[in-house]
């Protein structure tokens, strides 16, 4: 079969489908947001001066294009609120991802080493939280973490502490919420990576003198690299932009870009600023990822 065989219409449609999907539901909305981000903020409905409209005449396009501005992007850099929100979001997301990994790894390992007939049940249990509303599950954490919540009451009753611990409305509460909510997204790729490992590799390592700890560090862990990366991305990326969890558990102290965005949109009615922040966030996450992926592909090509 030649590599440049002509594709039939059906094949072309099948290949085009995901591109059309991404174009319609990701790229088009992103472009709308990008358009707003380079507009000027005004007190009106909508609260910005559009730089073009599909119904515009040629003259209008020129005059409206004069409204093009990068002020919102300049504000992102100069306004410390944004810089701090980004940094805080990245930090909280990074810490949460790390903790999720540490918590999920033993679970995934236990699942992968469980008897084969048990595994579907364990996977089902890992996905069980999805059967209830995400919002309700995060709300439940308020009942656990607040000053007169379950944890504080239990600790006081046991005499471990005399005054309630401040857990609710802290960055720590946000981390707990993210770790809890995103655990399945870490668990499943880790499980998939560990489950396909050939058990005789561990035996071979032990046979060659590796203690159980060395077998884990030298064989099991490096061979689950793909799963770790996939899980970390699935947790880290949505966690950076997370809004619900910091809003419910974080209190007013916890700064995260999701909430700053929300405030700009709904409280300050500064749509261009919020749009610019959103575009910058996508760029912040996507560009390093693309560069990394490209480097990885190059390395793979070179190794061939």
Q: Which residues bind other proteins (CB under 8 A)?
A: 198, 200-201, 203-211, 214, 218-219, 222-223, 225, 303
Q: Which is nearer to other proteins, 22 or 201 (CB)?
A: 201
CA distance 237 to 250: 19
Nearer to other proteins, 18 or 209 (CB): 209
DSSP assignment letter at 128: G
* Nearest alpha carbon to residue 223 among 242, 207, 202: 202
CB nearer to other proteins: pick between 150 and 201: 201
Closer residue to other proteins, CB minimum distance, 253 or 301? 301
CA–CA separation, 73 vs 76, rounded Å? 5
Q: Closest separation between CB of residue 191 and other proteins, Å?
A: 19
Crossing angle, helix 119-127 and helix 171-195, to 10 degrees? 160
Residue 47 C-beta: closest distance to other proteins, Å: 54
- The stretches of 66-170 forming alpha helices (DSSP H) are 71-78, 80-113, 119-127, 134-145, 150-158
Least CB distance from residue 223 to other proteins, whole Å? Answer: 6
Residue number with CB closer to other proteins (219 or 234): 219
Buried b / exposed e across 235-249, counting CB within 10 Å, b at 16+? bbbbbbbbeebbbbb
**Shortest reach from residue 197's CB to other proteins, in Å:** 10
CB of 118 to other proteins, least distance (A): 18
Q: Other CB atoms closer than 10 Å to residue 13's CB: what's the count?
A: 11
Distance CA 196, CA 223 (A): 10
Q: Which is nearer to other proteins, 123 or 210 (CB)?
A: 210
* Cβ 299 to other proteins shortest distance, Å: 12
Whether the CB-CB separation of 216 and 133 falls below 8 Å is answered with no
> Per the structure block, which two tokens stand in for 214?
């060395």
Task: Find out whether 259 and 241 touch, Cβ atoms under 8 Å.
Answer: no
Q: Residue 250: which H helix or E strand, with range?
A: none
- CB 194, min distance to other proteins, A: 14
Question: Closer CB to other proteins, residue 57 or residue 198?
Answer: 198
Q: Which is nearer to other proteins, 153 or 211 (CB)?
A: 211
What is residue 168's DSSP assignment? T
Closest distance to other proteins from the beta carbon of 117 (Å)? 15
Residue 247, SS3? Answer: helix
Burial of 42 (0-12, 13-18, 19+ CB in 10 A): middle
């Amino acid at each position: 079969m030649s590599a440049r065989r002509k594709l039939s219409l059906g094949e072309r449609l099948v290949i085009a489908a995901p591109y059309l999907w991404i174009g319609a539901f990701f790229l088009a909305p992103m472009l709308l947001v990008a358009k707003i981000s380079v507009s000027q903020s005004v007190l009106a409905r909508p609260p910005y001066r559009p730089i073009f409209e599909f119904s515009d005449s040629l003259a209008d396009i020129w005059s409206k294009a004069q409204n093009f501005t990068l002020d919102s992007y300049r504000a992102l850099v100069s306004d410390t609120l944004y810089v701090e929100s980004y940094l805080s979001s990245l930090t909280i997301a990074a810490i949460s991802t790390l903790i999720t990994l540490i918590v999920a790894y033993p679970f995934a390992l236990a699942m992968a080493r469980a008897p084969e007939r048990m595994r579907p049940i364990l996977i089902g249990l890992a996905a069980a939280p999805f059967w209830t509303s995400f919002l309700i599950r995060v709300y439940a954490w308020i009942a656990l973490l607040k000053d007169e919540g379950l944890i504080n009451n239990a600790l006081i009753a046991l005499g471990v502490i005399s005054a309630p611990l401040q857990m609710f409305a802290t960055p720590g509460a946000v981390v707990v919420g993210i770790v809890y909510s995103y655990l399945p997204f870490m668990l499943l790729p880790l499980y998939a990576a560990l489950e396909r490992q050939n058990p005789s590799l561990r035996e071979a390592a032990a046979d060659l003198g590796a203690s159980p700890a060395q077998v884990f560090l030298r064989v099991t862990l490096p061979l689950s690299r793909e799963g770790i990366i996939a899980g970390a991305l699935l947790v880290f990326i949505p966690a950076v932009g997370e809004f619900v969890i910091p809003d419910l558990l974080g209190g007013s102290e916890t700064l995260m870009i999701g909430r700053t965005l929300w405030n700009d949109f709904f409280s300050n009615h500064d749509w261009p600023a919020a749009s610019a922040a959103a575009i910058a966030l996508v760029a912040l996450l996507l560009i390093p990822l693309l560069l990394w992926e490209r480097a990885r592909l190059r390395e793979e090509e070179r190794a061939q």
